[in-house]
Amino acid sequence: MILWLLIFVIAAYNPQIDPADFQTAEDNPYYPLVPGTKLTYIEKSGGVTSTNVVTVTRDTKVVLGVTCVVVRDTVTRNGRVAEETVEWFAQHKDGSVWHFGTASREISPGGRMSTEGSWEAGIKGAQPGIVMPGRPMPGPPFRQQYARNIAEDMKQIIATNETVTVPAGSFTGSVKTKEWSMLEAGTELKWYAKGVGVVKEIATAGDTVVLISISRE
């Protein structure tokens, strides 16, 4: 019965995307994709420290007829680039921000490259999902994207009006979420600050991510 229900839920996920419902301006307060914004994070995982730089570019990509903002995410460890990710987002007219795909490249210390985790909405059954509602409130979980056996991330808003302090500053009125992948064990708690986006992450495995600086060009 449980297996049948799970199959039904997966098969039933098929959001109807009308390009006319999306806008080029991004003004969701908790996921503001303002071109020229650069967010720098420090990540600690398994005793390894990484620097993670997220840049909202001025580039766009059309996916399923929707013009998306291109966001680049570069992770460096021990002075070398370990991961490079390009993601595509667009905002619905109701204020919710949708994720339309990821082009991921992970580079091992030996130089081997993997594109595991890459997906694009509309290709091989992949579907976009919501990364931040227009009016976030605690409630049931929802899909952030769906590419079977590749990207099956979920999110649940568990609190609003949180205060969180990180090296980049102290932020009030933040949204707290619980996030996880249907393909992996464990969860993450994340805090989204107004006018910034993600400022802190704590995983059940003990990994942490904190925002250390914000710059805008």
Alpha carbons 139 and 31: distance in angstroms, whole number: 18
pLDDT at 90: 97
Which band of pLDDT confidence, cut at 50, 70 and 90, is reported for residue 25? confident
Tell me the Ramachandran region of residue 151: left when phi exceeds 0, alpha when psi lies from -120 to 50, beta otherwise: beta
Q: Which residue has the tokens 């994709």?
A: 33
Q: Which domains does the chain have, with CATH numbers?
A: 17-216 (2.40.360)
Weakest mean pLDDT among 35-39, 114-118, 143-147: 114-118
Q: Which residue has the higher pLDDT, 24 or 82?
A: 82
Quote the pLDDT of residue 78. Answer: 87
Partners of 49 in the β-ladder = 44
Confidence band (pLDDT; 50, 70, 90) for 2? very low
pLDDT at 8: 39
Could you tell me if residue 101 is left (phi over 0), alpha (psi between -120 and 50 degrees) or otherwise beta?
left
Q: What is the tens place of the pLDDT at every residue in 72-106? A: 999 999 889 999 999 999 999 999 999 999 999 98
The mean pLDDT value of the chain amounts to 92
Looking at residue 110, its pLDDT comes to 72
Indicate the pTM of the whole model: 0.92
- Do the bridges between strand 153-166 and strand 142-143 make them parallel or antiparallel, or are there none, so unpaired? antiparallel
Handedness of CA 73, 76, 80, 82 (dihedral sign): negative
If DSSP codes are grouped into helix, strand and coil, which group holds residue 154?
A: strand
